[in-house]
Amino acid sequence: MKISLTYIIISILSIFISLSGCKQLFDEKDIQNNPNAVTDVDVRTLLSGTMLGVAFLHEDTDVRIASMWAGELSGLSRAHLGFGQYIVSSQTFSWNNLYPVANQARLIQTKADVLGDKWTKGVGQVLEALVIAKATSLYGDVPYSQAFNSQNFPTPVFDKQIEVYAALQITLDKAISNLSSSTGLAFGANDFIYQGDVNKWKALANTLKARLYLHTNNYSQALVSANLGIQSINGDALIPHGTSQGQNTNQNYDFFRVSRAGDTGFEGTYLRTLLQSRINSANTKTNETALYNHFIKVGITAQNSQDPNTTDGAFVADAPHPIITFYENQLIIAESEARLGNTNNALVSLNNVRNGLSTGYFNGRTFSSNNRKYDAYTISDFGPSGLANPKNLPIQEALLYEIISQRYTILLMQYEAFNDYRRLVIALPVVQLPIPIVTGAKKPQRFIYPQQEINANPNVPKPIPDQFTKVSIF
């Protein structure tokens, strides 16, 4: 049973009673500058607050920008019109939420050590890794090795991106070790994601390891980790939401329907083009009409507008939002196996996802059975003239194209879609989706370091890379 965010907000208020709302939770100056500012708070309550911070970071404006730059969403008005046209600056981005949340995750670990509580420490390490993984994948080189010791390192160095990835793998290995301990203190009442199930947290850690190995093209290690990762939809890490406006609603709903209706939509997106190509096509085993309607609703904000479905689909007020899921884990296995030449093994994992979609399951909800079809593929479907190989590609490439296409749809409104957009340029064999450039001649490659960090930290890389400068791993 999922715990309502109302409970979480009550817990948060008991910690930070002077703050005005959950979106400003980690904007407090003392918390930004001093990760020990709330050391008098018990570790269980701190755990709830940090989870809420991590949840916010998976539904924020950064995620919408990443989705627009991946061709999933269009910017149509106000600031998002510019974002969708790749118009950003150092003023666009902020670390006011990101690093304070990571600081609190590190503080959880310190306090858990005092208690000898390995389970809670392991969860704190997973939360830390989730936050820093977002930071480095979007920004490249970022502070990590010195990021949580402001007394000794008030201006932390920016670690090389590949070093951050390696360090995150170590952090996650330590988390898995702690979560594998035979003893620990129960924290279920403070865990709105897994209700204290340490085995699910351990599986999440392995899937996150697999995701990071996929980023660095280490497919063998990605397989090792993913095979220990999330094994069913019951292990999906989902952020629960409710219907109380301003308290616990899905942030996408709030943005798409309440605060910025019409600022974004699916008009002209590659996502819409891809889904339409999988409706009434020669591929008789697939019909994504139902998923299309789950994502897109015509005419909510204007006649014939292609709006996010906030009425009865993926973006209703109480829709859970994914952090990392079984579908992603299976598609990591599928892509890794395919790139290693193990097409039959890859097909098994792809069909596992298709089987789940055939039931209508998607991120904790069920979409319509009307025109919903995901029959199991056979390897011959990807052979010459196969129904899943309209371009007559080699079997390996045709299978990869299908896996990558499925990843693109299931990663909607997750920043991981932007990571795919960039990493597929160098992943071998090269198989990319034909996502068009919205404007100009360059594709966006990264977020720009925030101006606040540029002003305060002399260690920011120079010259400041713009949004079209590639990060090193991609």
**What six digits make up the tokens of 418?**
């932007």
Give residues with Cβ within 8 angstroms of 130, minimum separation 6: 54, 57, 208, 323
> Cβ–Cβ contacts within 10 Å for residue 303, how many?
6
* Residue 41 confidence class, pLDDT cut points 50, 70, 90: confident
- Are 196 and 142 contained in the same domain? yes
End residue of a domain, out of 157, 191, 221? 221
- Are 168 and 315 contained in the same domain? no
Give the mean model confidence (pLDDT) for residues 207-214.
Answer: 98
Backbone phi and psi for residue 159, each to the nearest 5 degrees, phi listed first: -75, 145
Q: Which residues pair with 29 in a beta bridge?
A: none
Task: Tell whether pTM > 0.75.
Answer: yes
- Are 302 and 217 contained in the same domain? no
Residue with tokens 């509580």: 117
Does residue 138 belong to any structural domain of this protein? yes
- Are 103 and 236 contained in the same domain? no
Q: Buried b / exposed e across 34-44, counting CB within 10 Å, b at 16+?
A: ebebbeebebb
- Are 143 and 38 contained in the same domain? yes
In terms of Cα–Cα distance, which of 437, 15, 29, 144 is closest to 268? Answer: 437
Q: Are 59 and 241 in contact (CB under 8 A)?
A: no
- Are 214 and 78 contained in the same domain? no
d(CA 212, CA 302): 40
Q: Are 109 and 121 in contact (CB under 8 A)?
A: yes
- Are 141 and 200 contained in the same domain? yes
- Are 193 and 266 contained in the same domain? no
Does residue 458 belong to any structural domain of this protein? no
Does residue 407 belong to any structural domain of this protein? yes
Give me the number of domains the chain comprises: 2
- Are 170 and 264 contained in the same domain? no
d(CA 192, CA 208): 19
Residue with tokens 């994601």: 193
Does residue 417 belong to any structural domain of this protein? yes
Does residue 29 belong to any structural domain of this protein? yes
- Are 270 and 409 contained in the same domain? yes
* Residue 246 confidence class, pLDDT cut points 50, 70, 90: confident
Q: Are 166 and 192 in contact (CB under 8 A)?
A: no
Helix (H, G, I), strand (E, B) or coil at 303: coil
Q: Are 119 and 179 in contact (CB under 8 A)?
A: yes
d(CA 120, CA 113): 9
* Residue 40 confidence class, pLDDT cut points 50, 70, 90: low
- Are 108 and 129 contained in the same domain? yes
Q: Buried b / exposed e across 312-323, counting CB within 10 Å, b at 16+?
A: ebbbbbbbbbbb
* Residue 43 confidence class, pLDDT cut points 50, 70, 90: very high
Give one word for 280, left, alpha or beta, with left for phi > 0 and alpha for psi -120 to 50: left
Angle at CA 378, nearest 5°, toward 374 and 379? 130
Backbone phi and psi for residue 236, each to the nearest 5 degrees, phi listed first: -60, 135
Does residue 237 belong to any structural domain of this protein? yes
Backbone phi and psi for residue 65, each to the nearest 5 degrees, phi listed first: -65, -45
Give residues with Cβ within 8 angstroms of 447, minimum separation 6: 62, 65, 88, 93, 138, 139, 467
- Are 166 and 255 contained in the same domain? no
**CA 164 to each of CA 30, 99, 102: distance values in angstroms, whole numbers, following the listed order:** 26, 15, 14
Predicted pLDDT at 1:
32
pLDDT tens per residue, range 222-244: 999 999 999 999 999 999 999 99
pLDDT tens per residue, range 356-374: 999 999 999 999 999 999 9
Residue-range definition of the domain harbouring residue 274: 72-84+230-444
Q: Minimum mean pLDDT among 30-44, 288-302, 368-382: which range?
A: 30-44
CA 75 to chain centre: 20
**CA 269 to each of CA 29, 71, 86, 315, 362: distance values in angstroms, whole numbers, following the listed order:** 39, 6, 15, 17, 21
CATH code of the domain containing 157: 1.25.40.390
Mean pLDDT of the chain: 92
Residue with tokens 């503080």: 107
Does residue 372 belong to any structural domain of this protein? yes
Helix (H, G, I), strand (E, B) or coil at 286: strand
Does residue 463 belong to any structural domain of this protein? no
Q: Tell whether omega for the bond before 436 is within 30 degrees of 0, i.e. cis.
A: no
Give the residue, 4 or 355, on which the prediction is more confident: 355
